[in-house]
Structure 1
């Protein structure tokens, strides 16, 4: 009897000691990120049969489990991914908004001052100071275009740097998850299925951190490992093996990086399949805000330079010279992944005026399959089959290079507006070379201001957006569109932040450590330990009494 009581009491001491250890572990990790509160689960030991029936043999620890809810964890992961994406998107979009809407940096004031100077020349076409003022304001205008273009290019470079850093972070986190997979599989096998809670918490935290960078889908495996998928089911982590994210230059545009995934030595481009997280926010910002803004600014610069040159070239300067460009005319870059060549120029009507009203703020992809040419407007994915050359569409003319025509599989990226703001410059330095007259000034038309009046009239002419918007209108619309995107992103960010906070709170209610609860558990387990110790003392006294009686 004494031995049975002692054994029961000892089992109670062991179980209570483990419960105290678990409680202490919870208290110690109250501020540990990703830690899930643990609890000691106990059960009775196998009873012992006797003639009077079954006698209990004490208590045993059955498991130490963490307070974990897979549904809440999944909810938090998705909320984290959504918030991280819109947060990065909003932060980058706000940079663009601050630049284009700034009156000291934006184009509105520079264009106004430029056309005021044109009006001054029209009022007095022979005034050299007025002409010099026009050249000064023109230089300010082109510098402003160049400045904005450079700022947008700097943001693009920042985007590329951030993308590289995110890819490196994703790879590092994926590697840690794979290592934890290996440890967890080993520990589960060694313990015959008992969960290594701290390792599981660490792996879940890494998956949550990975979700901040990119949308991920973890899939538990039978052996205790977790496979992690990204994009359209591309495997990033499988047991202890990982695939590697990378970056490579776009086949057509080397300044644009494409995301790749390398698995078993095979590399695949997966840019179009990725979404969510900071990485998804960066890519969405580039496609929805940065590139369109660059193209809209370039369309404004090209439209102004081409139409101003059209009129200026028909006029005469103070020395009777004509056919003079006021601005350096922009050109259309054509990037290729091809054996052959094509050319692209700005289209003009029968009178020689460039049809800038048809220009779209977009890049174009021209593909030749050996039988037909397909032109895709990348801003809205509109496709057109070109049946003959030269072909004119959206204010540009495309022609084949007779000396080196395209072959099957050739691809060309045509960028009529993306670089125009960086190209624009003033072509004149001598104020006498400004063509204000409509007639040869050497023939006595020295005071003729007809061309200057036409140039001044461009300020109010509806040159862009299908002939529906002035230069100022087009710029204001571009600014408004960026502002609208920034405001929408701000609202979306606030909503996603609320969802994330709610998900965090819901998980915390289940999994976080409550110090009041743990303090109560300490008292409870302490009392249980003392009671078990008292049973040990009683059993010892009983055994000693029995021994003493036998000795007598």
Structure 2
């Protein structure tokens, strides 16, 4: 009987020592990212069957479980993917909005006003070389502003493409790591034990994948997970599929080179297009394929039609050398471009003749009247002329307006999209935080709760130690009786 009592007490000491070690592990990792609270599950030992009934034989730790709710994980990852998309889109749209810096004294609206004002001043002094020099300067500034916008858009596209490439590489790396963890977890759990720390590490990778690509995890009976992004399988057991980035060259090739070649995200070898996109991957691809090209094509349309309108009016005028009459037919004010290199925001500039000699700027529309100002007035009137810019969107919708109105519409469109992205990011972040709080309520470590459990386990351990002392005293008594 004493041996049985000692055995029961010993099992209690070992079991509660394991419980205390588990509690200590929880407290030590209370701030460790991705750590899931663990719990030592106690179970009675198999009892002995005696003539007078079953007699208990003590306690053991049946397993150390990891506190995790798969449904809460799935809810968090869904929200995390949406937050990744909205947050990245907000950041990129803010960078796109910053290209224009409107409203500003150095922006396009002010530059256009100054350009039209210069023509108005020239119409008041059609013979003034100084007024022509101002027109030349304002035209040069306008061209440089268009060029600067295009350069900034190219810089933003380059940096966004780089981030997209890094994201694609990170997704592939995470997929490989998850596949490797699948192998290790299946191997570690083949003996019936739970690989808690490895599962925590894998869940941390899955959380990151959900933010980057909206990944979804499917639990398998053997302990591995399959990972889906879009409608494609990224990880299946020990196999991971690579993700790649490819520029799409149009077929047939356009007459003029495309500045903004679209990109496609590919999966596997041979590669298949990844669809639908989610997470940060979606935001990056959308800005590269849609938002930046949309802004650039509108700027190009505005630049091309500005050059066309100004050149048409200016080439109908005449310039004069001294008092010589008749005047000489004026040429183009802006460089008209070529078929191979048409006018765009990137190429808009003054005509070489105007750059070399501002006296070649026409104000008169009458070859016999040097003081005539009809051309200057016509160009000044372009300030308020409606429907001078027309743009057709990829969906077939038509956007029209004056030069200033069209540009303000472009800036307003980008601003509204940025505000919308900011609102969506705020909502998505809030939903993600709430989902994480619900998840942490199950898997997170509360040091207060762990300290209470520690006291209970400690008391049980001390009681088991006292039981051993009692058993020893009983054994001594029996020995003395003999």
TM-score, normalised with respect to structure 1:
0.80
2:365 counterpart residue number:
438
Which residue pairs with 1:449 in the alignment? 373
Residue 128 (structure 1) aligned with residue 129 (structure 2): yes
Counterpart of 1:240 in structure 2 is: 238
Distance 1:333 1:493 in 2: 42
Kindly state the Cα deviation for residue 258 of structure 1 after the two structures are TM-superposed.
2.7
Q: Distance in 1 between matches of 2:31 and 2:58?
A: 35
Partner Cα distance (1:540, 1:172) in 2: 60
- Which deviates further from its counterpart, 36-45 or 102-111? 102-111
Counterpart of 1:73 in structure 2 is 73
Shift of 1:331: 5.1
Is contact 2:77-2:216 (8 Å) kept?
no
Structure 1 Cα separation of the partners of residues 173 and 400 of structure 2: 52
* CA deviation after TM superposition for structure 1 residue 228, in Å: 0.8
Q: Would you say how many aligned residue pairs link Structure 1 and Structure 2?
A: 458
Uncovered stretches (5+) of structure 1, i.e. residues with no partner: 335-344, 346-418
Q: Aligned runs of 1:244-393 on 2, under 5 Å?
A: 244-252=242-250, 256=261, 258-263=263-268, 265-270=269-274, 273-319=275-321, 320-322=327-329, 324-330=331-337
**Following TM superposition, by how much is the alpha carbon of 1:288 offset from its aligned partner in structure 2, in angstroms?**
4.5
CA distance in 1, matches of 2:160, 2:306: 29
> Aligned Cα RMSD in Å?
1.9
**C-alpha deviation, 1:248, in angstroms:** 2.2
Are the aligned partners of 1:160 and 1:257 in contact in 2 as well (CA < 8 Å)? no
- C-alpha separation in 1, matches of 2:76 and 2:149: 40
Q: Are residue 514 (structure 1) and residue 439 (structure 2) matched?
A: no
Residue 212 of structure 2 is matched in structure 1 by 213
Q: State the distance in 1 between where 2:5 and 2:21 align.
A: 24
Query: Which residue number corresponds to residue 356 of structure 1?
Result: none
Q: Once the 2 structures are TM-superposed, how far is the Cα of residue 251 of structure 1 from its aligned partner?
A: 1.6
**Distance in structure 2 (CA, Å) of the matches to 1:105 and 1:162:** 30
1:503 to 435, 438, 444: 435
Q: 1 CA distance for matches of 2:297 and 2:64? A: 60
The answer to whether the aligner puts 1:536 opposite 2:468 as a matched pair is yes
CA distance in 1, matches of 2:374, 2:414: 38
**In the superposition, relative to structure 1, how do residues 39 and 331 fare at CA in structure 2: closer, same or farther (>3 Å)?**
farther
Shift of 1:505: 1.1
Q: Structure 1 residues 311, 109: closer, same or farther in 2, change over 3 A?
A: same
Distance in 2 between the 1:255 and 1:468 partners?
A: 23
- After TM superposition, give the deviation of residue 524 of structure 1 in Å: 0.8
Spell out the pairing of 1:385-424 with structure 2 (5 A cutoff): 420-424=344-348
SS at match of 1:460: coil
Structure 2 gaps, min length 5: 251-257, 322-326, 391-397
Secondary structure at the residue paired with 2:64? Answer: strand
Residue matched to 2:481: 549
**How far apart, in 2, do the equivalents of 1:135 and 1:301 lie?**
17
Q: Tell me by how many angstroms 1:280 deviates.
A: 1.4
